[in-house]
Each structure stands twice: as structure tokens, then as C-alpha cells.
Structure 1
Amino acid sequence: MSAATFLAKQVRLVDAGLVAEVPSPCLSVCRMDPATDFCEGCMRTIDEIAAWGRMGDDEKRSVWKLIGIRLDASAQEP
């Protein structure tokens, strides 16, 4: 399963409220794409990664929604 497929499934689970605790999207890839400023593994910005441990569940869910948007946008690219 590709990283994008895994993240897309996780986005749906988090968005539907089907997880008791909001999971970290980290996939242990940890490389920032200089063209997008997103991690190549989890699609978060460096600021989102750095703040994750201090975020509440609502903020984490917001980041998951952003990840979903980013995945959709990247799927539209040629």
C-alpha cells in the first residue's frame, strides 16, 4: 500500500470519528519536499510536525483534514 493510499484511509477514519485517539500521520519517511514544503511521508508542514505533540484532538483533526486536501490536490497534478 502506498503512503498516499494509507494516509487517505486514515483521513477518512479520523474525519468519520472512528478512532478513539487521533493518531499521528507520521510514516517515518521524514523528508521535506522543497517544492511543496510538505513532508514526503505524512504531508504535514514542519510547523505542524513540530507542534503535533502540543496539539489538542480538534487541532489534530484539522491537520488531518489539511492532509486530505493536500492528497486530493497532489492527485490532480499531472
Structure 2
Amino acid sequence: MTSDLARTIAHARTLEPVGSPCTDICKLDPESGYCQGCLRTRDEIRAWKTMSDTHKLATFDVLLARLDTTAPHATPIRTDDA
């Protein structure tokens, strides 16, 4: 997820108007409240289309900060042969 979101944000910054950080993994994490793909909150997702480009660019910085502080979801590794 880390590289996908960073890559999506880098591309979205180059678009006119500013593009979306959506990575097509649209599922809210019940614990954090962040989308598992783009790390936006439900309110940020709803507001995206009406945000100014300046606000969108600032939100990218917030998302990248979240990316740095949000631990990736660990998948348990099975050690038995069952």
C-alpha cells in the first residue's frame, strides 16, 4: 500500500485540476477510521470534490504523514502444516 498511495499522490499532484488520491481500495478501517487504500477519513472522501486545489494539495501532505505513522496491516504467518 505504501508505494501505491505515494505513487498515486505524486501523479495526482501533476493533474489539472488536482487529482484524487484514491487507490481503488475503498474500505474504511473500523479502528482508525481511515480508508485502507488512500488513508482519507469518510469526511475527507465526501468533501474531496468540493475542495479547492490548494486544500487538496494540503490534504496530500496530511495523507503522506498518516502513511508514515500508520503501521501496515500485518497478515499472520502460519507456522503449522495444517
TM bin (shorter chain): 0.7 to 0.9
Give runs of aligned pairs for residues 6-17 of structure 1, distance below 5 A: 6-12=4-10, 14=13
Please say if residues 9 and 21 of structure 2, whose CA atoms lie closer than 8 Å, have aligned partners that are also in contact. no
Deviations 1:54-78 (A, max 9, x none): 01100101111111000000259x9
> Which has the larger share of helix?
1
Q: Is the 8 A contact 1:31 1:40 kept in 2?
A: yes
> RCO higher in 1 or 2 (8 Å CA, sep ≥ 6)?
1
Q: For the Cα contact (< 8 Å) 1:28–1:41, is it kept in 2?
A: yes
Unaligned ranges ≥5, structure 2: 75-82
What residue in structure 2 maps to residue 33 of structure 1?
Answer: 29
Q: Which has the larger radius of gyration?
A: 2
Alpha-carbon RMSD across the aligned residues, in angstroms, is 2.1
TM-score (norm 1): 0.77
Unaligned segments of structure 1, at least 5 residues: none
- Higher share in strand: 1
Preserved CA contact (<8 Å) 1:29 1:41:
yes
- Listed one character per residue, the Cα deviations across residues 35-71 of structure 1 (whole Å, up to 9, x for unaligned) are 1110001100000000000011001011111110000
Give the % identical residues. Answer: 38
